[in-house]
Amino acid sequence: MGYRAYISYSHADERFAAWLQRQIETYRLPTQIAADKGLSHLKPVFRDRADLPSSANLSDSLQEAIAQSEALIVICSKQAAGSQWVGEEIDLFRKTHGDQRIFAIIAADAPPDCFPAALLQDADGRSIEPIAADARRGFDGRRDALLKIIAGLLQVPFDGLKQRDLRRQVRRRTIAMGTAGAVAAVTLYLAVVAQDARNNAERRRTQAEGLISFMLGDLRSRLEPIGRLDVLDAVGDQAMDYFSSLEKDELTPEAQLGSAQALRQIGEVRLSQGDLERAFDAFSLSNEQTQRLFAADPDAENVEFELGQSHFWIGYVYLERSDVEQARTRFQQYLEVSESLLRRRPDSTDYQTELAYALTNLGTLEIADSRFEAAEQYFSSAAGINETLLEQSPDDPQRMDNLATTWSWLGAVASESGQILSAVEWYAKEYELRARAVDDRTDWLEMELLANTAILLGHHQLLGGQTDSAHRHFGEARDYGGRLVEHDPTNALWQRLRGFAQVALARSSMVRDELDAARNHADLAVADLLPLADAAPDNIWLSADLLNALAQQARVLRAAGDDHMAREVATQALARFGKAETDDKRLLAEAARLQLLDGDLQRADGNRDAATRAWEKGLALLNQLPANHGETGLKLVRMMLSERLGDTVTAERLWQQLIESGYGDEKDGKIAQALVSGTSNKE
């Protein structure tokens, strides 16, 4: 046989099919089973339907693959039930191999609607009821469903395989995580034992909920600093498997609150993995549960706190999607909860911290709407709270982080207002405090924050003419980003950070006339950011980051004299923007920079009319931004577009404003070259 199994699925279930294939092929067989079966693994598994849309029948290659497959795995859903190809693949496998090696796994939707018609009858046409592994949450779940399929492929009992798999997970996490991993593994094991052994329901539920509380509290606080999303993911999933197993009369308020907390943790992990849609679903379910609990018992302080957390995270996802008004609604609700909690206990430093968080969130929205004075008021109020709290505990790393964050936002206000030197001062204060908080460089999340600060500080130093300092900080951020990604390659936020640092290094390298290095950095940035943007098309920030990287790649190519390739990259980037159909400020800004570059390339080719149209489009994009949006990079773009279009009066006025705000490029235009155009702004 050529394949251990053939996966039959609808294109709507392609992501699930890819996950299933990967999990089966990478599953390491238990030692005894491997010896008994004479196998070391279960691969290859066949999954390919790329040529079907243009075919009237199953292609010869697919028929051959079915003939050479030991088993057929059917992924069941409503889409699969309506798929012609899934039905034909079942029929062909049955004719070739019989019924015994056909396995079904439910990816979505309830039986019997999810089953293809061919599964509901045997080879003789008699009606049958398929036995299927059910990957849906609240049923088998993905892990148990996978193990059921693997048990079928191996022809071994599921219970024995599950126990071996559970023991293996305990051993693996113990080895990989040291002490923290051992605690996590033992906790997960005990939670499963408590879940399965429910004859003495009350005693077991109390024991399990105590363990779940530990998993979602103390254990989580120990795991977060080392940045292990896989273990946090397992903790959340195990907790939800437990809550899903409870009967209706067992769902005490404590259990419902634990369920809401587990959903929030799952959402946070999904967010870190770059999956906005699934993160939003988890946060929304958490919010619904806490809303019901709080309505039933408004005096429950811990429920009100959890309600505030779910409001915040839903607002955060809306902000990632650039839905500022929806984000504002949720952040305002979070503020109201924080104020209510502080009224309950005015001396609580935890609730004072929550209030500072809530004020900071609303300040970010004021920046998004270019209301800089209002933003500064929110951030200054938050900074006042955080400064007082840090004075009380000068070595508290969390309080250092909170104060550093509000300083960072004050730097953002200065930057957006066009005050470069003031922004450098705020970011330098933030950098110093964050460096103090991670002296030993062992806290991964603190390292992420320090790297982000290094990029912000370096960017404004570059604008202010401090080229060498900026380049050094960009290199530091790139190195931290590399260490973070090496530590956890699944963390999309860390991949994004490393890519953004590479863009920054490409800019500073251009200023330093190091074009080979600049091109290498730009290429690495695109390699980091392209798959992230493609995997999350609704994430506006990732799309803007990719446009930024592509634009920098085009600028470097132009500076190196390769105008043809520069135009291809710019055209590709503009095509991506055209598909976005958004009025998001960041995307508009990046597209305006690209139009400036495209116009310059057209002019270099002698296409003056095309160049003028591109520059006019760039100016029109900038005109969609708020009138008081004074971010220095965009003022550079507007100045250069005005100059290209012959509006020398506006260009000179903007140039003087840049110089007055601390822009350090008056003499030779190299910084404008790196940030905006690929050529000197004095050409």
CATH number of the CATH domain containing 488? 1.25.40.10
> What is the SS3 assignment for 598-641?
HHHHHHHCCCHHHHHHHHHHHHHHHHCCCCCCCCHHHHHHHHHH
47-72: pLDDT as tens digits = 875 434 444 456 777 888 899 999 99
pLDDT at 234: 61
Q: Is 277 a domain residue?
A: no
Mean pLDDT of 112-136: 87
Q: Is 361 a domain residue?
A: no
Helices (H) and strands (E) in the chain, counts: 29, 5
What is residue 76's three-state secondary structure?
strand
Mean pLDDT of 602-612: 89
Written as six digits, the tokens of 184 are 């996590």
Place of tokens 């597209």: 591
Residue type at 246 in one-letter notation: L
Is pLDDT at 78 greater than 70 in this prediction?
yes
pLDDT at 246: 53
Is pLDDT at 677 greater than 50 in this prediction?
yes
Residue type at 344 in one-letter notation: R
Q: Is 320 exposed, middle or buried (0-12, 13-18, 19+ CB in 10 A)?
A: buried
pLDDT at 626: 67
Q: Is 254 a domain residue?
A: no
Contact assessment for residue 151 and residue 26, using Cβ atoms and an 8 Å cutoff: no
Q: Is 530 exposed, middle or buried (0-12, 13-18, 19+ CB in 10 A)?
A: middle
Q: What is the pTM of this model?
A: 0.54
Mean pLDDT of the residues in the chain: 81
Q: Is 106 a domain residue?
A: yes
Is pLDDT at 179 greater than 90 in this prediction?
no
Domain boundary among 155, 179, 212: 155
What is residue 77's three-state secondary structure?
coil
Domain boundary among 89, 122, 155: 155
Is pLDDT at 223 greater than 60 in this prediction?
no
403-439: pLDDT as tens digits = 999 999 999 898 888 788 899 999 999 999 988 876 5
Domain count, the chain: 2
For 580, the domain range is: 418-677
Q: Is 63 a domain residue?
A: yes
Is pLDDT at 448 greater than 80 in this prediction?
yes
What is residue 51's three-state secondary structure?
coil
Q: Is 581 a domain residue?
A: yes
Q: Is 209 a domain residue?
A: no
Q: Beta-carbon neighbour count of residue 213 at 10 Å?
A: 16
pLDDT at 638: 87
Closest CA to 590 of 575, 608, 577, 605: 577
Phi, psi of 247 (to 5 degrees): -75, 165
Contact assessment for residue 293 and residue 303, using Cβ atoms and an 8 Å cutoff: yes
Domain boundary among 109, 131, 155: 155
Taking the alpha carbons of 151, 152, 155, 156 in that order, is the dihedral positive or negative?
positive
Q: What is the Cα gyration radius of the chain?
A: 28
CA distance 263 to 286: 6
CA distance 115 to 218: 43
Q: CA neighbours within 13 Å on the CB side: how many for 170?
A: 14
Closest CA to 615 of 593, 648, 583: 593
Q: What is the number of residues in the chain? A: 683
362-387: pLDDT as tens digits = 998 988 777 889 999 999 999 999 99
CATH number of the CATH domain containing 58? 3.40.50.10140
pLDDT band at 315 (very low <50, low <70, confident <90, very high): very high
Taking the alpha carbons of 591, 471, 636, 369 in that order, is the dihedral positive or negative?
positive
Q: Is 242 a domain residue?
A: no
Beta bridge partners of 127: 121
pLDDT at 451: 92
For 551, the enclosing helix (H) or strand (E) is: helix 540-559
